[in-house]
Amino acid sequence: MEASEVAACWEANAETWTRHARAGYDLYRDAQNTPAFFAHLPDIDGLDGLDIGCGEGSNTRKLAEAGASVTAIDIAPTFIRHAQEAEAASPLGISYRVADGMALPFADASFDFATAFMSLMDMPHQDRVLAEAKRVLKPSGFLQFSILHPCFATPGRKVMRDEAGNVLGIEVREYFRVGDGEIESWRFGAAPAEEKARVAPFRVPRFHRTMSDWINLLVATGFRIEHMHEPGVDAQTARAVPYLADTYVAPLFLHMRVRKPVR
């Protein structure tokens, strides 16, 4: 699957995705993934940053609120339109534009840091994205990204529950089946049933890679791996927020920070 086909899928998802995410239906993002990402993000106050695959701009705005001067790109025009409308309503100085992460329209060494919130695993040529990110970073600049965990969010992942809905374990299958844009259809699980019934499910192209694939891509690109994090919940949170209880058993997400060498 090529970039044009990926773009078509995300453009079709963008309207409903924006509305549902802003309604609070993306609980994994809001209650776990984003807070964990920012808890491990270095100080970005006063830095120039690039957000790759920004979607409707929710996390981009958090970067700006942390003091960064942010440029953000996404391949779906509808996502960018919604992000620009939010910027116009409450200006934070963010520049949004439609662009492809595999061909960034910026000069070499333009940014102090880059982020990619849950976007790299949805791009067909991760080697190109990483090479482009490295190119536009200044020497010693960093890229921090989150992806579905290669080991525990495999194409065959299934949460096993008892009759009461309590999480018993995670079934992991097809870890070694590298994907090339296989379409997964799903909805935000926290959306009300009536809302799910009135909209089409998201169609998300998936490009699964193994953990060693990701590490080898980063090394081959010339990045230095600096930090890794696997967000999860504790037993108390699992009981209080059953929706997130699967991440008490095994992480759903992987966060990594890599740095461009000075030379």
Domains and CATH numbers, the chain: 3-259 (3.40.50.150)
Are 70 and 106 in contact, with CB atoms under 8 Å apart? Answer: no
**Any bridge partners for residue 98, and if so which?**
74
Token pair 């890229």 is at which residue? 143
Q: Compute the 3-state secondary structure of the chain and give helix, strand, coil in percent, each to the nearest 5.
A: 35, 25, 40
Q: Note the helical H segments in 157-226.
A: 193-198, 211-221
Distance CA 263, CA 256 (A): 21
Residue 172's alpha-carbon distances to 36, 44, 154, 230, in angstroms, are 24, 36, 6, 17
Which pLDDT belongs to residue 165?
86
Tell me what pLDDT residue 151 has.
97
User: Which pLDDT tens digit goes with each residue over 229-254?
Assistant: 999 999 998 888 888 999 999 999 99
What tens digit of pLDDT does each residue of 204-227 get? 999 999 999 999 999 999 999 999
65 closest CA partner among 45, 41, 88: 45
Amino acid (one-letter) located at 31: A
- pLDDT digit string, tens, across residues 137-162: 999 999 999 999 999 999 999 999 99
